[in-house]
Structure 1
Amino acid sequence: MNRRTFCLATAVALVGLPLAAHAETLHATLYKNPQCSCCEGYAAYLRNNGFEVDVKATNDLAQISLKTGVPANLQGCHTMFIDGYVVDGHVPVKTLRKLLTEKPAIAGITLPGMPTGSPGMVGKKKGPFTIYAITKDRTAPTVYATE
């Protein structure tokens, strides 16, 4: 096999691999209430999408979110730290990857509450999810994405 054939065959083989095989594994730490099971579902969803997730149970979840700038009315049911950002709630991977690719100058993002049909939650999605950007200077959050 000549060099050109080898390179072409390798490129074709790599195209068929999942995205996670092409990139470094992204490491995340997810803090959750000890009694919450949907957070484990979200962690499994992330793992199935190529992330490495360390889950830590805590009774101080609201305090963790507040310390990172997530207002009480926009908190999700868990708080995750990844690549220097805070991610609150059941944020879909598409928006999470957007954050990690664009690397905006914000503290993080949040999908408030526990929306039905969001990753890790049961039920059928009833409409678009609104994901908010959490600013570093603690000014009012703005819409980061809808999904």
Structure 2
Amino acid sequence: MDHLRKSGFTVGRRDTADVGAIKRKHGVPPALESCHTALAGGYVVEGHVPADVIQQLLRERPTIVGLAVPGMPLGSPGMEAPGQKAQPYDVIAFDARGTSRIYARR
């Protein structure tokens, strides 16, 4: 959340006991689920998606449901570890039919 705030996003937090229900409600495919689910500009943002990629999404406005970074890759926003090399990872776009594609690579 700090990463998003530092990038100019207004961030709120809602804790829930049933995170799976939130993910299903917003159309996150099970294979793309991660630790956090957010909403931004009408899109779903799942996991540790970098702020600049969210900004790109909001500029481009593609016809998708949202973006996801499955898992918690080392080096993704909020997962930095001093002395540890960042892992490469993909930011995945997904649509309402369950189709997914790589949107960005890090």
Higher helix proportion? 1
Kept in 2: contact 1:90–1:119 (CA 8 A): yes
Q: Report how many aligned residue pairs link the two structures.
A: 104
Structure 1: gaps of 5 or more residues: 1-42
Q: Check if 1:139 corresponds to 2:98.
A: yes
Deviation sequence 1:36-88 (CA, Å, 0-9, x none): xxxxxxx1111111111011111121221122221122112100001100000
Q: Check if 1:126 corresponds to 2:83.
A: no
Give the secondary-structure state (helix, strand or coil) at the position aligned to 2:88: coil
- 2:18 corresponds to: 60
- 1:37 corresponds to: none
Q: Percent same amino acid among aligned pairs?
A: 43
Bigger relative contact order, structure 1 or 2, given CA contacts below 8 A and separation 6+? 2
CA–CA separation in structure 2 for the residues paired with 1:125 and 1:96: 23
Deviation sequence 1:6-46 (CA, Å, 0-9, x none): xxxxxxxxxxxxxxxxxxxxxxxxxxxxxxxxxxxxx1111
How much has 1:125 moved relative to structure 2?
Answer: 4.7
Kindly report the root-mean-square deviation, in angstroms, between the aligned alpha carbons of the 2 structures: 1.4
- Length-normalised TM-score, structure 2: 0.89
CA–CA separation in structure 1 for the residues paired with 2:85 and 2:98: 30
Kept in 2: contact 1:62–1:72 (CA 8 A): no
